[in-house]
Amino acid sequence: QQQVKQSPQSLIVQKGGIPIINCAYENTAFDYFPWYQQFPGKGPALLIAIRPDVSEKKEGRFTISFNKSAKQFSLHIMDSQPGDSATYFCAARFSGSRLTFGEGTQLTVNP
């Protein structure tokens, strides 16, 4: 009930491509859905987040699409760059402020 399932586990795209990372959840008590980016040796950094009453949110090259009925949300990275190569985590806020994270997607953007 508290799990967030993320796919794919790894993703390789060419520069300029649009990688899409998907997450699914079960617990309807989740009320806040952020995406984090993590580089090796660093802590996760907040990229973008969405509340369940919104179906899409864009910030720069990053877009979250949210489907409340399907209990799914996804991250799209427009015009991807080699500097976007990192591990991406989706998460969901549960019962207060605790975040439950997905398993992560290792993204590689080739030049």
* 13 binds another protein per the rule CB under 8 A: no
End-to-end CA distance of the chain: 40
What number of H helices and E strands is found in the chain?
0, 11
Nearer to another protein, 4 or 77 (CB): 4
Q: Which of residues 32-91 bind another protein (CB under 8 A)?
A: 32, 34, 36, 41-46, 49, 89, 91
Residue with Cβ nearer another protein (17 or 106): 106
The one segment of 13-21, 59-67, 72-80, 96-104 that binds another protein by CB under 8 A:
96-104
Tokens (6 digits) for 87? 């591990």
Residue 90 · residue 71 · CB < 8 Å? no
Neighbour-count burial for 54-72, b at 16+ CB within 10 Å, e otherwise: eeeeeeeebbbbbeeeebe
Which CB atom, from 17 or from 62, has the smaller least distance to another protein? 62
Residue 111 to residue 97: CA distance in whole angstroms: 39
Residue 100 binds to another protein (criterion: CB under 8 A): yes
Instruction: Find the shortest distance in angstroms from Cβ 107 to another protein.
Output: 14
Could you list the residues that contact another protein (CB under 8 A)? 6, 32, 34, 36, 41-46, 49, 89, 91, 93, 96-104
